[in-house]
């Protein structure tokens, strides 16, 4: 952990007796695009606010570049935040907004003017210096908020659901903007969102959180393809999560039928959860798959068809470019590589506690 830019050590925080974070430990490497992902109330925003200095943890310490910054006020931290709903200063022009941090630091006028020009160019809003924030669209205001933060050349940029208030198209454009900015500036981004697609698109590392605990840390591919538990599998994308029994290494019994798989080390005849992504369920001719079923729902989604197939008492979610009419009988087959086996948690609490270790 020598190269860690930020290090959270045993952070606990509760509001009104409700535990939000429970002994959270997390380190963030320099130059990383790290996303804290989870449903609302999972503690992701609180984690960010503790790092920004707007909340004090009840217990634990935050280290930044090796120094303990737990007690440091926000204005003494070498990082900047892009807030939800932009938080621009509505009584100032765009130029004054961007110049705010630099003026406080006592930079010269020519330096500030250069920086404003540079920052507006970076976010593709040249010529907006004298506009007022209210006259800008949501996407433009968000880019100004980013410009206002990055002119201060922080080591670390915190983004608290910055795209939450934007419509879908704009959000997708802004995602590419953010990746571009990150690469151009070479600063570490910590991004908070509940939108799994956003997280998968932009991040180097995703931290999935739930109920104040970290559920899984990993690259987007790893999180999507190899979720460690049912929560992660369910939260990231669509999935079929089915209770199953691990017969022995490389063989799992799902809904009474035996499927070949590639996982080992779960023991013999152990109850497990399996995750099969809908796009990995292959529909074949009746009798040619591992199990047979009947198509019960069919929806056209544009890129693919979404179908539900009733087979062995379970409604399988299937994405396929090939259409099967409702009522048609099909066989289900899954590539062994696409069956992800997960330990079965005895209870929800245990699930959370176990993963925090």
Binding site for another protein (CB under 8 A): 52-54, 73-75, 80-81, 83-85, 87-91, 100-101, 104-105, 145, 148-149, 152
Between the alpha carbon of residue 163 and those of residues 152, 191, 199, 204, 206, the distances in Å are 21, 10, 12, 18, 17
Which CB, 75 or 321, lies closer to another protein? 75
Q: Which residues pair with 109 in a beta bridge?
A: none
Which CB, 119 or 341, lies closer to another protein? 119
CB of 312 to another protein, least distance (A): 51
Which CB, 13 or 277, lies closer to another protein? 13
Which CB, 100 or 314, lies closer to another protein? 100
CB of 115 to another protein, least distance (A): 13
Give the distance, in angstroms, between the CA of residue 219 and the centroid of all CA atoms in the same chain: 10
317 in helix, strand or coil? strand
* Cα 219 to Cα 225: distance, rounded to the nearest angstrom: 10
330 in helix, strand or coil? strand
3-state helix, strand, coil in the chain (%, to 5): 30, 35, 35
CB of 253 to another protein, least distance (A): 52
Which CB, 160 or 292, lies closer to another protein? 160
CB of 174 to another protein, least distance (A): 19
Which CB, 63 or 100, lies closer to another protein? 100
* Cα 295 to Cα 305: distance, rounded to the nearest angstrom: 12
* Cα 63 to Cα 5: distance, rounded to the nearest angstrom: 8
CB of 239 to another protein, least distance (A): 35
Q: How many CB atoms lie within 10 A of CB 103?
A: 11
CB of 154 to another protein, least distance (A): 9
Which CB, 52 or 227, lies closer to another protein? 52
Q: In what order do the strands lie in the sheet with 340-343?
A: 257-260, 251-254, 240-248, 270-276, 340-343
CB of 100 to another protein, least distance (A): 5
CB of 88 to another protein, least distance (A): 8
Helix axes 109-122, 94-104, angle to 10 degrees: 130
Residue pair 310/294 in contact by the 8 Å Cβ criterion: yes
* Cα 299 to Cα 98: distance, rounded to the nearest angstrom: 48
Which CB, 5 or 157, lies closer to another protein? 157
* Cα 119 to Cα 144: distance, rounded to the nearest angstrom: 9
Helix axes 138-150, 109-122, angle to 10 degrees: 140
């Amino acid at each position: 952990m020598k190269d860690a830019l930020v290090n959270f050590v045993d952070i606990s925080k509760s509001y009104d007796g409700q535990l939000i974070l429970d002994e959270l430990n997390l380190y963030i490497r320099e130059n990383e695009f790290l996303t804290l992902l989870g449903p609302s109330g999972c503690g992701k925003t609180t984690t960010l606010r503790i790092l920004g200095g707007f909340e004090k943890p009840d217990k634990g310490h935050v280290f930044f570049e090796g120094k303990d910054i737990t007690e440091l006020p926000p204005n003494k931290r070498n990082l900047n935040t892009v807030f939800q709903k932009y938080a621009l200063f509505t009584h100032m022009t765009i130029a004054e907004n961007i110049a705010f941090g630099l003026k406080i630091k006592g930079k010269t006028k020519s330096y500030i003017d250069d920086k404003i020009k540079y920052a507006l160019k970076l976010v593709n809003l040249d010529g907006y210096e004298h506009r007022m924030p209210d006259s800008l669209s949501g996407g433009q205001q968000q880019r100004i908020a980013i410009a206002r933060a990055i002119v201060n050349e922080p080591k670390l940029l915190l983004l608290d659901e910055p795209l939450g208030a934007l419509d879908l198209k704009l959000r997708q454009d802004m995602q590419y903007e953010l990746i571009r900015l990150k690469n151009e500036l070479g600063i570490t981004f910590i991004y908070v969102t509940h939108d799994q697609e956003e997280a998968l698109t932009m991040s180097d590392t995703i931290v999935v959180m739930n109920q104040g605990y970290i559920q899984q840390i990993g690259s987007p591919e790893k999180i999507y393809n190899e979720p460690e538990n049912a929560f992660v599998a369910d939260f990231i994308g669509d999935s079929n999560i089915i209770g199953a029994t691990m017969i022995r290494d490389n063989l799992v019994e799902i809904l009474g039928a035996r499927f070949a798989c590639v996982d080992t080390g779960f023991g013999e005849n152990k109850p497990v959860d399996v995750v099969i992504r809908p796009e990995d369920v292959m529909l074949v001719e009746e009798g040619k798959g591992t199990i047979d079923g009947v198509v019960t729902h069919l929806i056209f989604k544009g890129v693919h068809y979404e179908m539900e197939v009733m087979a062995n008492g379970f409604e399988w979610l299937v994405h396929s470019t090939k259409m099967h009419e409702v009522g048609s009988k099909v066989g289900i087959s899954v590539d062994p590589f696409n069956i992800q086996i997960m330990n079965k948690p005895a209870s929800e609490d245990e699930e959370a506690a176990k993963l925090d270790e």
